[in-house]
Structure 1
Amino acid sequence: MNSNNNFTFIDLFAGIGGFRMALNSIGGECLNFSEINKDAINTYCTNFNEGFEYNLGDITKIKDLPAHDLLTGGVPCQSWSIAGRNLGFDDDRGQLWNDTIYLLNKSKPKAFVFENVKGLVDPRNKEALTYILQRIKEAGYFANYYLINSFDYGVPQNRLRIYIIGFREEEYSLKFSLPKPIQNKIRLGNILTDFVASPVKSNENFEKDLFGEVIKPRNMSLSNSNGFNDYFLFNDLRNGHSTIHSWDILDTTDRQKEICYLLLKNRRKSAYGNLDGNPLSYKHFKDLDQTIGKVELDDLVSLEILKKEGYSFLINEYDKNEISEDEKRILECNINTVLFVDYLKTNRDLKLKKISISKTLKTLQEKNIITPEEIRYDFKNTKISTGLYGINRIFLPTSNIFPTLVASDTNDYITTKEINANSELEYREKFLKEIYKTQEFRRITKKEACLIQGFPEDYLLPENRARWMKLIGNSVSVPVIEKLGKAIVETGVFDIQKEIEIYQSAVNSSF
């Protein structure tokens, strides 16, 4: 290695080569990589023209690493415990974070950078993160962690990740600073393969307040332009100018829409229960609107917009030998021989024991141990992340960013059609007419997924969508690693000329 800041690195949990692509571009030389997924190994070796013999394989079986300057790894976000906290490094093997730190401690590179999901910084994982940082310190490193969004460093993706960066010598740790976010950020429309942006419409025709300012609705979007959200959310539990409900899609009357909005407006009120969203009984509906008939609610059930569900249950006589342990715990949570769903769902002990309330109530009903006392109405689609009819969100090309790519395909779509409108109502109606009903939307392509992660659009991946989505979703964002790598290099930690000068000075002083 010479004095022009070239460096060597080992690529742990290599995946498809996000770390390698980034570090190669700034003068890094990869000595070996470690990966166990066959698809990832084949993709890595194909794209880097690398021999399989350079794969060190399962990290839990690696005993030694060749001498290197930088150790990298996107440590998998496995369930993590801190067992063995008071044991030596040789006794920590078998958990991937411990295995990683074990190799760090043994090989002693000049610096390292590890990536993990943002959940590691959540309060519930505070003990785990503290432990990881302590073990890194015990290995002889000065380290800090940083929460970084890939969007800030050159990809149109909302991807928050934690990066732990450390140096063997404190002086380089003190010199290190995060690169500044780039100014001219890449937008979603920049990477869509079949989209050409049209001129931006002026604000002059948009609704304005008394001071002449464009009226902007509350922003529920990842981005917005001209006061409008840049994606449409398919959801029955939220409301906004770019939310599409099931009653917007299905053939419903104005009266049916009114009833749906009545439930939407009131279901989160504490008067109807202790849940974040509570179903309402027919009596509740009547109290809100005396003209509502039960048949109107049942018609919405027939349309599969609403559903009926038991909210409280009377406990009948039963043989204690007939019930399971979970059923027993549920029955013990009665209030005057009545089970209330909101109480069960907010019961801490039941949550800790991971007892399924709905499944257990169903089996108790099938055994005739409980009988529904109060029936309520709720929306049929109550899982926000699922969306409606296979669609969660549809992003317009004007959006700043696309959601985090994950290993499993999501229900997020894109459209290459832009919408210009003068009001929220017109904006929504145009979307339904010109995009949704004409099916002018699609999933992202393989090329676009590569670009969203910062890979070249022609990066070689398997043809099967599920396979390439898993690989690209598990990867790191290449531009982020490139920027962090440059910042590490700029500390001078890999400057061999300086090391030679220090060594010569030490030798001279000894004479």
Structure 2
Amino acid sequence: MANFSFIDLFAGIGGFRLALQSVGGTCIGFSEIAPDAINTYCLNFKEDESANFGDITKLKTLPDHDLMTAGVPCQSWSIAGKNLGFDDDRGQLWNDTLYLLNKVRPKAFIFENVKGLADPRNAKALEYILERIKQAGYHATVNVLNAYDYGVPQTRIRIYIVGFKEKKYLDKFILAPTTPGCIQLSNVLDGCDAKECRQSNENNARWSLSCNEKGFNDYFLFNDLRNGNTTIHSWDIQETTERQKNICYLLLKNRRKDKYGNLDGNPLSLNHFQELDPSIKKDELENLVEKGILKRVSYLYKVYEISDDLSDNARWILSQAKDGIINFDTLKSSKELKKRKLNAQDALFALATIGAVKCIEERYDFKNTKISTGLAGVNRIFLPTCKIYPTLVASDTNDYVTTENIKADSIEDFRTKFMESIYRTGNYRQISKQEACRIQGFPADYILPPTRARWMKLIGNSVAVPVVKMLAKAIVNTGIFEGQEKITVRKKLQTIQSDLPSLFKDYGENPVTKNFIVHDNSNINYSKVNQKQEESEGNIF
């Protein structure tokens, strides 16, 4: 086993550390500022808080070490975020990381981020990061990897940038072969007979296409915006007539057509419905509104008055009118709207309240239009036969599992058995803390906070341990650490704290030194840690 030292930046709860220690690494310090994460890290590794370097934005240097790891906070590049990239200050934490890489110059590094950083829309940002790595004298490779391929039953696609100070080691760096499906959902669920539920790996499909031996999806999607053999709709859950079901399917079939708007899914007016089926009456649509299946959407607004005392946000909303008309579609899809942190519907309602605009066209859409929310608090229910679970996220999801297997010869029987024996009987549940750990590749007995919101935030923000272990092994296999003696850790490491200067003169912008998380005292019991409240956006006036 190799001997090498490493420093764990943006350490979280220690996913990188677990992986690197398993292949011979010795941690000589970590950097983390979230109190829950610090406490969890120290508890599990029996680490003294003096090993925490604290806020990375104030670090001028670090002790010498062989390997640097960093799971740079990813919100700026995440699809779940606002996709503002370096327009978002949080993206500047890359500058802080690269400054320390250039300053301390370890033999190698592993940097992790969300897949969004490798997407075309962020091509310039990734190019910027790679250029800085090159200017620091490192040779790097970009790897977009799915945790499902390396030993966990979870689709978790992340970008891993691995670099070496000497090119000869990069040339020897080879990823291990993938082993998709070696661990499946039934292997991590408590109270489940894994042997009975385990599938062959002949079809290594994505989780969204995962199916059992009969070809039926092994999960049920609760959604009004999509349709499929294992999709459950609002009109399946509550009592509705065949006529009402047909109207719902009519909207479902046509709402994505370009003729009705520019969005991925567009509301339809009464005239639109009647063009499709002349027999449809307004009161039928209103009845579906009363049932909570449809909702009214104010779609077109006429601008009546622009007052001098309106806020800048309000005046900008009104400036989006074309020929005196504001189109809800156009406004909602505006990137500027996201930058201003405005909600299109709320903003137009506020303007209508003061008489600045008036709705001149109303349409109908499904009430539940957020796919991830699902219906009645349920997004998806996964059967134990499923090979893979969706990406664990810090905010948790409305995804559930059942340990009951369903056997059926027809899709109709499959759906019926699901509704009768699982959904209507409530025979499903959220994954437990222990199961979440296994899904991320952590030990099931890993110490985490007691409340679900807190442990889910920590585990959802972590890395999949087996992926990092595979990368660490590949680095070790290059021979970069050969002949090194056993590492001795010096306690109570001291580091110099100062404002961070610009990393490279070729780039004009200095790194942002104000972190987006408030540094706090980590010497605090779990029961006394209060959750940080999210800031409300406020209205536009």
Normalising TM by the smaller chain, what interval?
A: 0.7 to 0.9
358-367 or 432-441: bigger deviation: 358-367
Q: 1:440 to 1:95 in 2, by over 3 A?
A: same
Instruction: Give how far 1:93 is off.
Output: 13
Partners of 2:149 and 2:179 within 8 A in 1: yes
| Structure 1 counterpart of 2:268, from 262, 265, 280 | 280
Instruction: Give how far 1:446 is off.
Output: 0.4
Matches within 5 A, 1:216-255: 221-225=208-212, 226-255=214-243
Partners of 2:148 and 2:180 within 8 A in 1: no
| Paired letter, 1:294 | K
| Structure 2 counterpart of 1:125, from 119, 122, 126 | 122
Q: Are 1:263 and 2:260 matched, yes or no?
A: no
Instruction: Give how far 1:94 is off.
Output: 10
Q: Are 1:179 and 2:176 matched, yes or no?
A: yes
CA distance in 2, matches of 1:201, 1:401: 11
Q: Deviations over 1:458-493 (max 9, x none)?
A: 111111111111111111111111111111111000
CA distance in 2, matches of 1:350, 1:467: 31
Q: Are 1:71 and 2:68 matched, yes or no?
A: yes
Specify the alignment match of 1:467 in structure 2: 454
| Structure 1 counterpart of 2:401, from 392, 411, 414 | 414
Q: How many residues are matched?
A: 473
Unaligned runs of 5+ in 1: 84-91, 204-215, 499-511
Partners of 1:60 and 1:94 within 8 A in 2: no
CA distance in 2, matches of 1:42, 1:201: 37
SS in 1 for 2:208: coil
Q: TM-score, normalised by structure 1?
A: 0.86
Q: Deviations over 1:421-468 (max 9, x none)?
A: 222222222211111111111110000011011011011111111111
Partners of 1:93 and 1:99 within 8 A in 2: no
CA distance in 1, matches of 2:42, 2:331: 52
CA distance in 1, matches of 2:86, 2:271: 52
Residue identity (%): 59
Partners of 1:143 and 1:167 within 8 A in 2: yes
CA distance in 2, matches of 1:252, 1:234: 17
RMSD: 2.7
Q: Are 1:15 and 2:12 matched, yes or no?
A: yes
Specify the alignment match of 1:213 in structure 2: none
Specify the alignment match of 1:508 in structure 2: none
| Structure 1 counterpart of 2:164, from 164, 167, 182 | 167
Q: 1:415 to 1:175 in 2, by over 3 A?
A: same
Q: 4+ residue stretches of structure 1 with deviation over 4 A?
A: 80-83, 198-203, 346-355
Q: Point out which structure has higher relative CO (alpha carbons under 8 A, 6+ apart).
A: 2
Specify the alignment match of 2:464 in structure 1: 477
Q: 1:327 to 1:102 in 2, by over 3 A?
A: closer
Instruction: Choose 1 or 2 for highest CA Rg.
Output: 1
Q: Deviations over 1:41-73 (max 9, x none)?
A: 221121112222222222223333222211112
CA distance in 1, matches of 2:170, 2:195: 46
Q: 1:356 to 1:54 in 2, by over 3 A?
A: closer
Specify the alignment match of 2:538 in structure 1: none
Q: 1:341 to 1:48 in 2, by over 3 A?
A: closer
CA distance in 2, matches of 1:326, 1:56: 41
| Paired letter, 2:25 | G
Unaligned runs of 5+ in 2: 78-84, 486-541
Q: 1:236 to 1:93 in 2, by over 3 A?
A: closer
